[in-house]
């Protein structure tokens, strides 16, 4: 009889333990991982309750850690996405600036090309001007040479006029002496006196003409000397002008070469900037862009959080499990042997 009572008591304890485990397992199946078995089990089975509570606490801590880390990961991902968005906005702004710079470089390259073309035209004009200067230079040289020859001829003429003056003075003296001698002879010398007077008058007239020629020669010689100096100055001016045109042609050619190098440099710089902008755009819109990786991380974190979110702290408080009354159906079936 005592054995039967003991067995019934043990059976009731086993039923109470089974009901408590059944209730806890059902709550665990619904996702409650924070409800411990607080009701004490029989001494022989209380270790199982403690083990169950420790395992449940470990799983709860792990799930909480997973959820916490997942939330932190999503928060960090959101911050990183915001940072990437800011970087993308900055890159877009820089791209606009680069595009504007590329357009400006294209305009500068066109301006350099136009400047190079103008420099070539100016160089051609200056070259033709140098060729056209040769004719007036030769004409000025010829005029200078002719004027110098004229000066030499006038100088010779002036010497001849001086010789003619000397000869006229001698002829005048001869006529004067002949007249004096004829006057001393009296009547026989009247004819000779008339001839002497006529010769003296003629020598005076010729002397006046020669004097006028001498004055004209002096004036012409002075004008010729001035013309020779002016022609020589004109020739030197043409030489200087030729040097200036040659120097200007050299400078314009150098300016054209600089414009060509500048155009090549600007075109290369524009190409490099455009290539860099295209590469950055390809990286941002490609399959391996940071935004794509962040989307994958967010999806994975959301899936982890969804799976771990099944285990929520339900905290359903149930009254202590009482031993099942006799005749009720238990979850455990005892088989007597």
End-to-end CA distance of the chain: 18
Is residue 9 situated within a structural domain? Answer: no
Please state the domain count of the chain.
1
Residue 224 lies in a domain: yes
CATH code of the domain in which 152 resides = 1.10.287.950
**Residue 24, domain member (yes or no):** no
Tokens of 36: 């411990």
Note whether 169 and 204 are within 8 A (CB). Answer: no
CA distance 74 to 65: 14
Interacting residues of 212 by C-beta distance below 8 A, sequence separation 6+: none
Residue 334 lies in a domain: no
Do 105 and 266 contact (CB within 8 A), yes or no? yes
Closest by Cα among 295, 155, 126 to 220: 155
**Long-range contacts of range 277-281, CB-CB < 8 Å, 24 or more positions apart?**
277/95, 277/98, 277/99, 277/102, 280/91, 280/95, 281/95
Residue 26, domain member (yes or no): no
Residue 226 sits in which domain range?
A: 33-308
Residue 36 near residue 55 (C-beta atoms within 8 A)? no
Is residue 320 domain-resident? no
Instruction: List Cβ neighbours of 19 (8 Å cut-off, separation of 6 or more).
Output: 321, 324, 330, 331
Q: What is the dihedral of CA 144, 147, 153, 154, to 10 degrees?
A: -140
Q: 3-state SS of the chain?
A: CHHHHHHHHHHHHHHHHHHHHHHHHHHHHHCCCCCCCCCCCCCCCHHHHHHHHHHHHHHHHHHHHHHHHHHHHHHHHHHHHHHHHHHHHHHHHHHHHHHHHHHHHHHHHHHHHHHHHHHHHHHHHHHHHHHHHHHHHHHHHHHHHHHHHHHHHHHHHHHHHHHHHHHHHHHHHHHHHHHHHHHHHCHHHHHHHHHHHHHHHHHHHHHHHHHHHHHHHHHHHHHHHHHHHHHHHHHHHHHHHHHHHHHHHHHHHHHHHHHHHHHHHHHHHHHHHHHHHHHHHHHHHCCCCHHHHHHHHHHHHHHHHHHHCCCCCCCCCCCCCCCCCCCCCCCCCCCCC
pTM of the model: 0.45
In a domain, 23, yes or no: no
CB 161 within 8 A of CB 210: yes
Residue 223 belongs to a domain: yes
Residues of the chain with pLDDT under 50: 314-337
Residue 201, CA distances (Å) to 166, 187, 224 in order: 16, 22, 34
What pLDDT score does 329 carry?
A: 41
pLDDT of 188 reads 65
């Amino acid at each position: 009889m005592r054995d039967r009572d003991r067995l019934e008591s043990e059976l009731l304890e086993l039923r109470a333990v089974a009901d408590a485990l059944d209730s806890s397992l059902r709550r665990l199946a619904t996702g409650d991982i924070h409800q411990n078995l607080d009701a004490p089990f029989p001494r022989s089975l209380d270790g199982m309750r403690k083990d169950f509570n420790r395992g449940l606490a470990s799983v709860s801590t792990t799930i909480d850690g997973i959820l916490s880390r997942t939330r932190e990961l999503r928060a960090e991902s959101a911050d990183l996405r915001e940072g990437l968005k800011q970087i993308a906005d900055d890159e877009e702004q820089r791209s606009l600036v680069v595009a504007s710079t590329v357009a400006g470089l294209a305009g500068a390259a066109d301006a350099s090309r136009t400047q190079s073309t103008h420099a070539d035209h100016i160089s051609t004009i200056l070259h033709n001007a140098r060729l056209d200067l040769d004719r007036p230079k030769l004409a000025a040289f010829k005029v200078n040479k002719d004027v110098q020859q004229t000066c030499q001829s006038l100088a010779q003429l002036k010497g001849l006029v001086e010789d003619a003056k000397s000869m006229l003075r001698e002829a005048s003296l001869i006529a004067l002496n002949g007249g004096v001698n004829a006057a001393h002879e009296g009547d026989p010398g009247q004819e000779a006196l008339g001839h002497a007077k006529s010769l003296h008058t003629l020598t005076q007239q010729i002397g006046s003409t020669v004097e006028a020629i001498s004055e004209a020669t002096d004036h012409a010689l002075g004008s010729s000397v001035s013309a020779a100096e002016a022609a020589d100055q004109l020739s030197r001016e043409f030489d200087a002008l030729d040097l200036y045109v040659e120097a200007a042609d050299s400078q314009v050619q150098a300016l054209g070469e600089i414009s060509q190098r500048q155009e090549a440099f600007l075109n290369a710089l524009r190409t490099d900037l455009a290539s860099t902008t295209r590469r950055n755009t390809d990286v941002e819109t490609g399959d391996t862009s940071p935004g794509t990786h962040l989307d994958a991380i967010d999806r994975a974190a959301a899936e982890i959080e969804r799976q771990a979110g099944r285990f929520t702290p339900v905290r359903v408080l149930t009254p202590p499990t009482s031993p099942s009354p006799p005749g009720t159906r238990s979850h455990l079936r005892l088989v007597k042997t």
